[in-house]
Amino acid sequence: MIANEIILSSEQQPKPHPLDTFMETFGTWEDTRTTEQIVDEIYSSRIVSDA
């Protein structure tokens, strides 16, 4: 049996998907707070403007 192997030059290498690159760079959101605590913090940091 003969195995065929395709060798690609560096220009022909498939490029990684942008989302994969993003996740590899920045990772996922990690937080120990509950959803309610996060929402409470967001609401408490809002400023009412009379503009």
Per-residue pLDDT of the chain (51 residues; tens, 9 = 90+): 555 666 656 566 788 899 999 888 888 888 999 999 999 999 999 988 776
Count up the domains in the chain and report the number: 1
Please give the pLDDT value at position 30. Answer: 86
Q: Would 51 be classed as within a structural domain?
A: no
5 found inside a domain? no
**Residue/partner pairs of 12-18 with CB below 8 Å, 24 or more apart:** none
pLDDT confidence of residue 33: 96
Tell me if 11 is assigned to some domain: no
Q: What domain range includes position 31?
A: 16-46
- List CB contacts of 31: < 8 A, sequence separation 6 or more: 38
The pLDDT assigned to 5 comes to: 60
